[in-house]
Amino acid sequence: MAEPVWSVDPRTGKQREQVGVEATAADVDAAVRAAHAARAALADRDARIALLRAAADELEADGERILAAADAETALGMGRLPGELARTTGQLRAFAAEVADGGYLDVIIDHADASLTPPRPDLRRYKIPLGVVAVYSASNFPLAFSVPGGDTASALAAGCPVVVKAHPDHPATSELAGAALRRAAARSGLPEDVVTVLHGFEAGVALVTHPLVAAAGFTGSVRGGRALFDAAAARPVPIPFYGELGSLNPVLVTEAAAAERAAEIGAGLAASMTLGTGQFCTKPGLVLAPAGGAGDELLNALTKKAGEAAHGVMLDGRMREAFLAGVAERAALDGVEAPVAAAGSEDRTVAAGVLTVDAARLAAEGPHDLLLEECFGPVTVLVRYAGAAEARAVLSRLPGNLTATLHLGAAEERGEGEGAALLSELTALAGRVLVNGWPTGVAVTPAQHHGGPYPATTSTSTSVGATAIERWLRPVTYQSAPPALLPPELRDENPLGLPRRVNGSREI
């Protein structure tokens, strides 16, 4: 018999309601085949635009129920969740605008030219959807990175039907959001099966290996993401797997920056690393700061503000236990101190923690490498360096990240000193590099890049912003095809009014 799916309140650890049952292999097969059959209907650009806009409308119309369920299942609070809903509906409408613009198709036409040596044939290139996309929801964003989130929105915009494996931490929210998307499909004249929501661990494994699934998007842990990534690669026909797995999000504070605004940086760091109970994928988890002097002032400000931070409930009991165990294991390493001790309370909340260590202990491989791995939750590691050489030695050992942050002094901002060189070193580590800011908070704009070298992600693509649509498309070129047989996107008369490049010149 299929296992029941329960909605659980993380504030109490008690079951709220049974949402449904875990999907069987037959359920997964039926969902994927129905999605595959919906591809032709989703090929209509106008219908996709209508779908994305209707999805935003439906989510807003049912916003009260969706937000109540999300708060009950995640404990993220009504101070944050309405903003996440607005972000979710905003990105759906942004992708509708992207489809309407048509630039994402990257149309390029080179007419035949017999005067060239060798002669050039007629070549016409654009991008087409990959097919059914499997989406694996995130735990920490029950809307923006889950059923109605960026992976789903961008895949639908590309013309790819979606089968979503809901996260077990918020199944009721997932069902409500999935129902809203299916209503939007019906409103837009599309089959409801352009979006289907499934539950269960085994369903997730079956989904990534289904022969009709053409690509997958994942946001979660390194362990889980790597297992699915390997399964996607091991298929008889491997598929692209766009996974966001884990990120330390390093911060480097120069001596000049610490001397000029140590207290401000320390307070800003505390606010960033405790935001959302430290459960942001962009939480600054390792900070390089000068040893002694202004560095001590920075640490004092950090510990004061972190110690004053409100205790918070984590997304589920398993994550809470993993956080507390991870902090304890790190604090037990030689030379690691905990000026602010992370702790759990009987009310199921956790207190933030701050760990410190000398940079020399991280300069070579050893047990302290644990500090170079993400610890999900409200904790950060302050690494005290004595001179630029020590700081660079630690930077050289860091894995790939979503973000890297550099805090500079005023003269360094003007180009004096090593600011440019340090910025270049951090650029090698991350997909988004910040100067004099904090990485928590990801603006959903066309220029955004939310990705980075492994293990931050398994590709070079972004999961946030307009270019996220590129993950679900592949280019195809027609050579010397008769005009009557060409798709409308590639015809000379440009009946769809698409931006394109013709014979090397851009047309808008």
Instruction: Please give the positions annotated as active site.
Output: 244, 281
Q: How many C-beta atoms surround the C-beta of residue 402 within 10 A? A: 30
Handedness of CA 466, 470, 472, 476 (dihedral sign): positive
Strands 312-313 and 349-351: antiparallel
How far is C-alpha 406 from the geometric centre of its chain's CA atoms?
Answer: 21
- Which phi and psi angles does 168 have, rounded to 5°? -65, -15
Contact 174, 164 (CB under 8 A): yes
The two tokens of residue 478 are 């027609």
How large is the angle between the packed helices 222-234 and 201-209, nearest 10 degrees? 30
Q: What is the DSSP letter of 305?
A: H
Rounded to an integer, what distance in angstroms lies between the CA atom of residue 37 and that of residue 83?
35
Task: Please name the residues in contact with 89: beta carbons below 8 A apart, sequence gap of 6 or more.
Answer: 55, 56, 59, 60
The two tokens of residue 388 are 């630029």
Rounded to an integer, what distance in angstroms lies between the CA atom of residue 463 and that of residue 49?
20
Alpha-helical runs (H) found in 188-283: 201-209, 222-234, 255-274
